[in-house]
Structure 1
Amino acid sequence: MARPPDFMLCLREALAASWDKRTAYLEVERMGNPALGQCYPTSRAVQHYYPETEIIKGKVWTGTTLDVHFWNGLRIGDDWYHIDLSWQQFPAGSVIQEFAIVERRELNDSESTMQRCALLLKRVDDYLNARSHGA
């Protein structure tokens, strides 16, 4: 389904408005960093709205730690375009060390992960619906 040109910006806004500790990995939260721990449910939400994307799992060097991170990729021809709507959780200067496409059949989510993803998706849907109806 074709999306309006500004839909990705609306989706990013909806995601940021929908994050909290209940959607974060291990309910992690840090003042001033609402994207912390939100990467996996965010990548699943992006894939819901853009099913042609794949989920990518990688490692990010922050300058002090090597963190696991998830984002989306869109393949067009031989090129991959990376879509990361939770990158802001990392400090400036962070670098991706390695990454791989996660095969859809390998997405064996735990019950708690499925609940976090479902909660985020419902909040995003509600936000987008309210926005489209002028609420």
Structure 2
Amino acid sequence: MKSLPQNFMLLLREALTASWDKRTAYLEVEQVGNPALGQCYPTSRTVQHYYPETEIIKGKVWTGKTLDVHFWNGLRIGADWYHIDLTWQQFPTSSIIQEFVVIKNHEFNDSEATMQRCELLLKRVDSYLKARFEAA
């Protein structure tokens, strides 16, 4: 398998940010100045597409006002977990993770609407990256 460029994670983050909108957000939520809001699940699935060795993690985040469900990626190396969260900026700075679990064996049980959001985001990211690599 062809290896990814050294700066690929930065390019992926750029592509994700450029590709988010209400059609890829949970319940089409939008908030001015917070483009990552509602984007965590399709983002974690897209990251896993490019980095299949990562797992998707489901957790609960205390924002100081609410307890929100959140998804991100984790990479296990030996006994250690390295967390990769490209949508954490949607939460206030004082937010904390209350609990989390690794979604085992890719058991996502996604609804049709969720699968469509994930597919749309992946398609947009693929197009963005392809254009970036062709321009280089």
TM-score between the two structures when normalised by the length of structure 1: 0.97
Alignment deviations for residues 14-34 of structure 1 (CA, whole Å, 9 cap, x no partner): 000000000000000001100
Q: 1:105 to 1:14 in 2, by over 3 A?
A: closer
Unaligned runs of 5+ in 1: none
2:86 is the counterpart of 1:77: no
The equivalences for 1:41-120 within 5 A come to: 41-120=42-121
**Using the alignment, how far apart are the partners of 2:60 and 2:14 within structure 1?**
25
1:73-127 residue CA offsets vs partner (Å, 9 max, x unmatched): 0000110000000001001111001001011342111000000000000000000
Could you tell me the percent identity over the aligned residues? 79
Q: Structure 2, unaligned stretches of length 5 or more? A: none
How far apart in 2 are the matches of 1:132 and 1:56?
A: 30
Distance in 2, matches of 1:39 and 1:68, equals: 9
List 4+ stretches of structure 1 deviating above 2 A.
none
The RMSD of aligned alpha carbons is 1.0
In the aligned structure 2, how far is the partner of 1:55 from the partner of 1:133?
30
Cα displacement string for residues 39-75 of structure 1 (whole angstroms, at most 9, x for unaligned residues): 0000000000000000000000001100000000000
Moved more, 97-106 or 107-116: 97-106
2:29 pairs with 1:28: yes
Aligned residues between the structures: 135
Structure 1 CA distance for aligned equivalents of residues 93 and 53 of structure 2: 29
Q: In the aligned structure 2, how far is the partner of 1:105 from the partner of 1:34?
A: 26
- CA distance in 2 between counterparts of 1:91 and 1:28 reads 17
Structure 2 letter corresponding to 1:23: T
The letter of the residue matching 1:30 is Q
